[in-house]
Amino acid sequence: MSFEPDWINTPPQLTTDPAPRRKGRLGSLALALVVGLIGGFIGGAFADGVTDGSTGTGGGPVVTAAKVDQAKVGNTSVAKAAAVISPSVVTVDSLADDGESIGTGIIISSDGDVVTNAHVVEDSTEVRVVLNGETEPRKARVLAADAGNDLALVRIENVTGLTAATFADPASLAVGDQVVAVGYALDLDGGASVTSGIISALNRTMQNEDGALNALIQTDAAISSGNSGGPLINMDGHVVGINTAVYRSTDTSAANNIGFAISVGEVKRVIEVLRTEATGEKRSQGYLGIALSDRTDGGVGAVVSEVASDSPAERAGLKVRDIILQVNDQPITGQGALIGIIRDATPDDEVEIVLERDGERITVKATLVARPSE
């Protein structure tokens, strides 16, 4: 499935129109909450009937529950999970020539490393981070960004002793598991918002202008503008993904509660790449040497439409009209999934490709080379 993603890094205007308006980069709009005062003066009879709640014509006493033990507040599984991740969730405020972008980030080291979405800090001229429980922004800078995987590494300046998030084992994810999304939805005053749902699907692929996001988690936990870069967590408070986009209804399709998060396995891999790039070492992407198209007969897989001369694909024996079904044990449901896998590989990686040719299933191996300069 291919569609234009709705990035969720900036707050929409509160309006009866369900289509959100993004702050700053698409026009600065004030966020106004209008409270209507209902009632007013009802008459002297009402005023005369007001008492101290103990005796008189105003009725019986006002009953108040017993004093709450604060140690027992927030005892649900969602509240406990949110409490675990809360110290590691920050607001990311990115200034650019075309406006301001508000998103969320996750602390990944005690000395100030934060991971967020690349689209949150895209083209930034200044980045500021607000820690949980603080009111003043701290200066930060973008160390490295990967637009293709929509992840960026940000460093808060001159800070120590932060609480780093814990990342879940990628193998622990399962469809139907309960998850919680945490982030600064709508950039509202106060702490981060918390919403809960389940993992609706795994290994989704979403194509965008930078290629394709692969190995995505689909969730029905409510994700709103401002949640971009924030964590999707399990019930232990461990990060299972980073919220990145939602799918909204269009004139031709309906969508309800369909959000996407970059899965923890991808996040951990890309973080290491970004840390390497932050030292000045550039990473070369893998190159197979094929052009692709989607199947039109209702089946799954990616169809080879062109094979480059003297490429790893040609040397491996791939041919036009081959249908690629699997790469390194990862199913290929469309061309986006294959684009993401090869892009994330490195030169000299060997990939095992399962394909269908003239009704026969064949397995071939190809050794990738560095992607040619454009």
Query: Which residues lie closer than 8 Å to 149 by C-beta, 6 or more apart?
Result: 118, 213, 262, 266, 270, 344
Q: Give per-residue pLDDT as tens, 282-338.
A: 777 889 999 998 888 888 899 999 999 999 999 999 999 999 999 998 888 888 888
Contacts of 201 (CB under 8 A, 6+ apart): 175, 217, 218
* 219 strand-pairing partners: 199, 259
Check whether 17 has a pLDDT greater than 60. no
Residue 49 has pLDDT above 70, yes or no: no
The string of DSSP letters for 336-373 reads HHHHHHHHHS-TT-EEEEEEEETTEEEEEEEE-EEPPP
Please, are residues 120 and 9 in contact by the beta-carbon 8 Å criterion?
A: yes
Give which of 318, 319, 325 is closest to 356, Cα–Cα. 325
How many angstroms separate the Cα of 181 from the Cα of each of 219, 235, 237, 291, 349? Answer: 9, 11, 10, 37, 35
Query: What are 106's strand-pairing partners?
Result: 89, 115
pLDDT in tens, 199-213: 999 989 887 776 788
Q: How far apart are CA 344 and CA 194, in angstroms?
A: 32
pTM: 0.76
Per-residue confidence (pLDDT) for residue 16, from 0 to 100: 23
Tokens 């289509």 correspond to: 19
The C-alpha atoms of residue 168 and residue 269 are separated, in whole angstroms, by: 13
Residue 355 has pLDDT above 90, yes or no: yes
Looking at residue 35, what is its pLDDT?
39
Sign of CA dihedral 335, 337, 340, 343: negative
Question: Which tokens go with 188?
Answer: 């509202």
Q: Are 183 and 193 a contacting pair, CB within 8 Å?
A: yes
Q: Is 177 exposed, middle or buried (0-12, 13-18, 19+ CB in 10 A)?
A: middle
Confidence (pLDDT) at 207: 76
Domains annotated for the chain, with CATH where assigned, are: 170-278 (2.40.10.10), 286-370 (2.30.42.10)
Q: How far apart are the first and last CA of the chain?
A: 27
Alpha-carbon dihedral 79, 81, 87, 92, rounded to 10 degrees: -90
Residue 150: pLDDT band with limits 50, 70, 90: very high
- The predicted pLDDT at position 90 comes to 96
Task: Give the residue numbers annotated as catalytic, written as ranges.
Answer: 119, 150, 228
Task: State the virtual CA torsion across 10, 14, 19, 25 in degrees, nearest 10.
Answer: -30
**Higher per-residue pLDDT: 250 or 259:** 259
Q: What percent of the chain has pLDDT over 90?
A: 56
